[in-house]
């Protein structure tokens, strides 16, 4: 997420690091060759290890840009310690960490490069998965978590996007960049910050609690639910409502879980003290795979095979995977953690439990799924209203434990997270220049078409205004400035955000506590839904006084999103030029075209 021009700047005395791009060499050894993807905690690059002459994955870990230098250094040190702790894990279902280095004041984690697809991609492309395959995925993941928890490591971000299925059938838990060394005393997130994904975060963490092993088990339960149903159980369309549902609402009864339904109920228990443990989960999955979900006993699933997962080819240009460490030979009841998971092409057959009453063996007190036939949604994160699980008896006895927590607490935690993500400035502020004519009229200004250097969008800007790419330690963005008045500008950015309203309103809330403004002077004029072309958007108008010189500022900030990529249009001008400057913002929004 970006922070607008009036945000905190790069701390004085610090220079902006190099922008990561192909050709950059990290630690005089790892040459970045291509971007693999962006995540909530950084960017993953494909790189070439010049020393060992092999390709690796290198994760550029994102640190909060608003932190003062001493706290930033402490967080960097902690991240390095935790990554090194993750590197100590030797497990077939944990992505291997080869090296941890610091470059340009940021941690970089060097990992094995997998020829694999994420579970999220598989769900999106192929729809819900059969219970037997999900059980085998679950067994691999719980085995990985058991090894991590025994080493004092909590992952903190278990989700389908961090579960990789390789071409040889190996199931791997990746992205320990968010992990916390729970036994080190440094595993608590800073006050007001919640790290993780809203759909998969545990309720105790959504309200600001520490990351502990039970929170990983809850996220595992949500991940397995999503694999079975094609969508997570608490999706409500936006981040705030989803986090409220995580804390307060029971999950919708699964229609496709079969004998896995009781396991899901145990993993999704709101009370971490009552939630299924690693050992309980492992034993349950082992029993199911040797009984109801055995190759001979499973219904509604395809038989297993000894080869790679059927119907899940590696994506084109996939990455080589190192051979997993040697592990004991699997038994018929419990496959080895890195063993192939069996075919998953297609959904459950007609013999599988897809509708009607709850699956056999489901705990007393839980409602059945609705009787309508289940149609896999096109979008795996689509929310379909159905009958929820009633609370199991053990939760009904503790109704005051979590259900009494107000939505305000969740919103505060969420805003803390958004503020954490959004504090980032350019490292320089356009020079103050009050020489601009107060009476200048832009209503009939001439425009020229500007094309983003990265080919992501085009937009009309005032003719003669100067466009310049700038960067802070976390991102690169585009500033378009009035050459006659350096205090009038438009900022454009493209990032990875799904919820435009949460992004922009959270950012403005974060600005209220920023030292860029005189304390207490930021006032929201209007917050409303908007559009950017065909995309859903939200915009906020606000005023404030700048701390450096007391100048009264007026700003308009719009963020649009297609569900994963967000597009920012931001205008910031002196109050006295607002009326004449607003048409510039309106024209930019009107003419903005995504390429």
User: Per-residue pLDDT averaged across 125-144, rounded?
Assistant: 94
Does 356 have pLDDT greater than 50?
no
pLDDT category at 8 given cuts 50, 70, 90 is very low
570 contacts 425 by C-beta, under 8 angstroms: no
pLDDT confidence of 84, banded at 50, 70, 90? confident
pLDDT at position 502: 82
Residue 527 has a CB neighbour count (10 Å cut-off) of: 15
Model pLDDT, residue 522: 87
Query: What pLDDT is recorded for position 339?
Result: 34
pLDDT at 41: 63
Alpha-carbon Rg for the chain in angstroms: 25
Contact 53, 40 (CB under 8 A): no
What is the rounded end-to-end Cα distance, in angstroms, of the chain? 20
pLDDT of 546 reads 85
| Mean pLDDT (whole number) for 369-395 | 31
pLDDT at 421 over 50: no
Question: Does the annotation list 59 as a binding residue?
Answer: yes
Mean pLDDT of 542-565: 89
**485 vs 178, residue with greater confidence:** 485
Q: What is the mean pLDDT of residues 340-344?
A: 36
Q: What domains lie within the chain, and their CATH numbers?
A: 25-111 (3.30.200.20), 118-301+368-406 (1.10.510.10), 427-594 (3.40.1000.10)
Task: Look up residue 546 and give its DSSP letter.
Answer: B
Q: What mean pLDDT comes out for the span 33-54?
A: 86
Output the pLDDT for position 71.
Answer: 73
Query: Phi, psi (5° rounding) for residue 224?
Result: -65, -40
Query: DSSP of 402-471, one letter per residue?
Result: HTTS-HHHHHHHHHHHHHHHH----SS-PPP-TTS-TT---TT--EEEEE-TTSSEEEEEETTPEEEEEE
pLDDT for the residue 594: 92
What pLDDT does 581 receive?
Answer: 92
Report yes or no: 322 and 112 within 8 Å, Cβ to Cβ. yes
Range with the poorest average pLDDT among 69-73, 255-259, 523-527 = 69-73
Who has greater pLDDT, 454 or 15?
454
The better pLDDT of the pair 362, 260 is held by 260
Residues 6+ apart with CB under 8 A from 390: 250, 365, 366, 367
Beta-strand pair 97-103/106-111: antiparallel
What are the residues whose beta carbons fall under 8 Å from the beta carbon of 296, sequence distance 6 or more? Answer: none
Q: In what order do the strands lie in the sheet with 566-574?
A: 466-471, 476-482, 485-495, 566-574, 552-561, 535-545, 523-532
* Range from 12-21, 388-397, 400-409, 508-517 carrying the lowest mean pLDDT: 400-409
Global pTM exceeds 0.85: no
Residue 198 pLDDT greater than 60, yes or no = yes
pLDDT computed for residue 40 by the predictor: 53
pLDDT at 197: 78
pLDDT value at position 449? 92
Would you call 269 helix, strand, or coil by DSSP? coil
pLDDT tens digits, 49-70: 999 999 999 988 776 666 677 7
Selection from 296-300, 488-492, 520-524, 563-567 with the highest mean pLDDT: 488-492
| Residues 422-477: tens digit of each pLDDT | 323 333 344 444 444 433 444 457 899 999 888 889 999 999 999 887 765 456 67
Burial 100-139 (b: 16+ CB within 10 A, else e): bbebeebbbbbbbbbbbbbbbbbbbebbbbbbbbbbbbbb
Whether residue 510 is predicted with pLDDT greater than 80 in this model: the reply is: no
State the pLDDT at residue 19.
78
Distance from C-alpha of 533 to C-alpha of 569, rounded to nearest angstrom: 12
Q: What are the catalytic residues? A: 157
Q: What is the pLDDT of residue 114?
A: 86
Q: What is the mean pLDDT of the chain?
A: 72
Banded pLDDT at 179 (limits 50, 70, 90): low
Whether the per-residue pLDDT at 262 is higher than 90: the answer is yes
């Amino acid at each position: 997420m970006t922070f607008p021009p009036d945000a905190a700047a790069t701390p004085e005395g610090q220079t902006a690091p190099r922008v990561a791009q192909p050709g950059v060499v990290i630690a005089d050894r790892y040459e970045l060759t291509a971007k693999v993807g962006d995540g909530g905690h950084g960017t993953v690059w494909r790189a070439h290890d010049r020393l060992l002459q092999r390709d690796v994955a290198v994760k550029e870990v994102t640190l909060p840009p608003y932190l003062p230098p001493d706290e930033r250094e402490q967080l960097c040190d902690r991240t390095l310690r935790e990554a090194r702790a993750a590197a100590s894990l030797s497990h077939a279902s944990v992505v291997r960490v080869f090296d941890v280095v610091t470059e340009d004041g940021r941690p970089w984690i060097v990992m094995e490069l997998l020829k694999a697809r994420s579970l999220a991609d598989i769900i999106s492309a192929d729809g819900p998965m059969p219970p037997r395959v999900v059980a085998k995925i679950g067994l691999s993941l719980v085995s990985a978590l058991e090894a991590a928890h025994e080493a004092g490591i909590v992952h903190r971000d278990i989700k389908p996007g961090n579960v990789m299925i390789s071409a040889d059938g190996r199931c791997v838990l990746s992205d320990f960049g968010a992990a916390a060394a729970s036994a080190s005393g440094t595993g608590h997130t800073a006050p007001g910050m919640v790290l993780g994904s809203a759909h998969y975060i545990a309720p105790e963490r959504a309200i600001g609690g520490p990351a502990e092993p039970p929170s990983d088990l809850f996220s595992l339960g949500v991940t397995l639910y999503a694999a079975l149903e094609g969508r997570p159980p608490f999706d409500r369309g936006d981040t705030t409502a989803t986090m409220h549902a995580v804390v307060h609402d029971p999950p919708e009864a699964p229609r496709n879980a079969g004998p896995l339904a009781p396991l899901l109920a145990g993993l999704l228990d709101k009370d971490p003290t009552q939630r299924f443990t690693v050992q309980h989960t492992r034993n349950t999955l082992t029993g199911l795979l040797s009984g109801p979900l055995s190759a001979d006993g499973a219904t509604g699933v395809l038989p297993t095979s000894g080869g790679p997962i059927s119907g899940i080819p590696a994506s084109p240009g996939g990455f080589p995977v190192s051979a997993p460490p040697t592990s004991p030979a699997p038994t018929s009841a419990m496959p080895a953690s890195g063993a192939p998971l069996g075919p998953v092409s297609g959904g459950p057959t007609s013999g599988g439990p897809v509708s009607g009453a709850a699956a056999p063996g489901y705990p007393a007190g839980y409602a059945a799924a609705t009787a309508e036939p289940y149609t896999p949604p096109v979008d795996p994160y689509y929310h379909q209203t159905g009958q929820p699980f009633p609370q199991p008896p053990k939760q009904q006895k503790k109704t005051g434990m979590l259900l009494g927590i107000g939505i305000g607490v969740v919103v505060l935690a969420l805003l803390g997270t958004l503020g954490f993500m959004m504090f980032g400035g350019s490292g320089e502020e356009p020079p103050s220049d009050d020489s601009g004519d107060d009476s200048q009229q832009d209503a009939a200004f001439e425009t020229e078409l500007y094309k983003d250097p990265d080919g992501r969008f085009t937009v009309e800007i005032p003719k003669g205004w100067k466009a310049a790419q700038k960067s802070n330690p976390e991102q690169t963005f585009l500033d378009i400035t009035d050459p006659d008045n350096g205090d009038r500008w438009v900022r454009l950015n493209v990032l990875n955000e799904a919820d435009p309203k949460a992004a922009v309103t959270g950012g403005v809330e974060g600005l209220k506590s920023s030292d860029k403004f005189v304390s207490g002077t930021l006032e929201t004029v209007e917050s409303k839904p908007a559009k950017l072309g065909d995309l859903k958007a939200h915009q906020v108008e606000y005023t404030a006084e700048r701390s450096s010189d007391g100048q009264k500022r007026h700003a308009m900030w719009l963020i649009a999103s297609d569900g994963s990529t967000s597009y920012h249009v931001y205008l910031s001008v002196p109050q006295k030029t607002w009326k004449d400057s607003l048409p510039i913002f309106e024209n930019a929004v009107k003419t903005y075209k995504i390429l």
